[in-house]
Amino acid sequence: MARKVGSHAGTTGPRVRAAALRLFAREGYAAVSMRAIAAEVGVQAGALYLYTPDKQTLLFDLMREHLEEVRAAWAAVRPDPAPPAERLAAFARFHVNHHIDRPEAVFIAYMELRALTPENFARIEALRRAYEGELEAILREGACSGAFRLPDARLAARALIAMLTGVTTWYRAGGPMSRAEVAEAYAALALRAVGAPA
């Protein structure tokens, strides 16, 4: 046997990445073999190397695409000239809504950093810092203008990011609360945490 019926790089490529995303999130990068990914796609292990140069790059690309997507999505909805409280509320709602639909990518991007080579780690960290810097800038500005009352902008940014991202560890669609309700609840917590009651 060789080439499969209906095979096409345009479909197999995305299926490889989807399988890797799902398995990496569920079992962890190190615990997932290329053979397991291939089996999920319905292909032999060797065929994966038509779509990625190696396993490390497969992980790196998944992370990079996730972080670039987050940045682009935020840039598209970010209210730019707006008071700090409104910008913070928008960020919190956006962050929760965006992450709640991508628990697997979020999990990988935060937990498999240690599996990256030093070079790849540095590039991913730069992307993350750029995104998280958006929140820190909002907080810093609000602290300066007196709109927020907070201990330390950097600490508060880290604390709020952790809080907001944590939604992915428990939320599952079909529960008692809708995505929008959850996002609103988190936004209210974030606003009050910095002394800007909603």
Q: Which is nearer to DNA, 54 or 101 (CB)?
A: 54
Number of residues in contact with a second copy under rule CB under 8 A: 40
Question: Does 60 interact with a second copy (rule: CB under 8 A)?
Answer: no
Question: Does 105 interact with a second copy (rule: CB under 8 A)?
Answer: no
Question: Does 133 interact with DNA (rule: CB under 7 A)?
Answer: no
DSSP state letters, the chain: --SPTT--HHHHHHHHHHHHHHHHHHH-GGG--HHHHHHHHTS-GGGGGGT-SSHHHHHHHHHHHHHHHHHHHHHHH---SS-HHHHHHHHHHHHHHHHHT-HHHHHHHHHSGGGS-HHHHHHHHHHHHHHHHHHHHHHHHHHHHTS---S-HHHHHHHHHHHHHGGGGT--TTSSS-HHHHHHHHHHHHHHHTT---
Question: Does 173 interact with DNA (rule: CB under 7 A)?
Answer: no
- Of 137-176, binders to a second copy (CB under 8 A) are 149-152, 155-156, 158-167, 169-170
The residues of the shown chain that bind DNA, judged by CB under 7 A, are 1-10, 12, 32-36, 38, 42-47, 49-50, 53-56
